[in-house]
Amino acid sequence: MSRTIKLAEQIRQEVSDILARDVRDPGIGFLTLTRVKVAPDLQQARVYYTTLGDPAARKKAARALDRALPFIRRALAMRLNLRRVPELAFQFDESVAHQARVEELLQQIKQDDAERAAEAAPGEPSADPSDDE
């Protein structure tokens, strides 16, 4: 496993722990860190997150994370054994919303297919030739 991947996972775990235990900002609310991408030079790390709620709650969480960023970076520096802690940037993870939308569309297709099959079944004869015997 490459060093950037190991560091990304360690940052995700530590930042998650810092947010859960040490950050007292009520604006953060229920937050899930989905992934971390670390630059190849280890100088920057982008922390992706999701949150429950409407877009207003999402904006509130983003502002709270920006306020807590210096504290989180200092706490991370104490936990990681690095010469230089990467600059952190939080970004809402849109991929989770897209994934949920795809799941919703697949469920709708499945439901539509079931409805069409139910409508076609009672009045139409079977198209299967083995039923004619």
* Element spanning 50, H or E: strand 44-51
Residue 18: φ, ψ to 5°: -60, -45
CATH topology of domain 3-93: GMP Synthetase; Chain A, domain 3 (3.30.300)
Give residue 133's pLDDT: 46
Contact (CB, 8 A) for 25 and 68: yes
pLDDT tens digits along 77-112: 999 988 899 999 999 988 877 777 788 888 888 888
- pLDDT-derived band at 41 (thresholds 50, 70, 90) equals very high
Question: Taking 50 as the threshold, does the pLDDT of residue 52 lie above it?
Answer: yes
Collect all residues with Cβ–Cβ distance below 8 Å to 9 and sequence separation of at least 6.
36
Question: Taking 90 as the threshold, does the pLDDT of residue 120 lie above it?
Answer: no
Give residue 128's pLDDT: 52
Q: Could you tell me which of 63, 71, 70, 58 has the C-alpha nearest to residue 30?
A: 58
Question: Taking 90 as the threshold, does the pLDDT of residue 17 lie above it?
Answer: yes
According to DSSP H, which parts of the chain are helical? 3-21, 55-79, 94-123
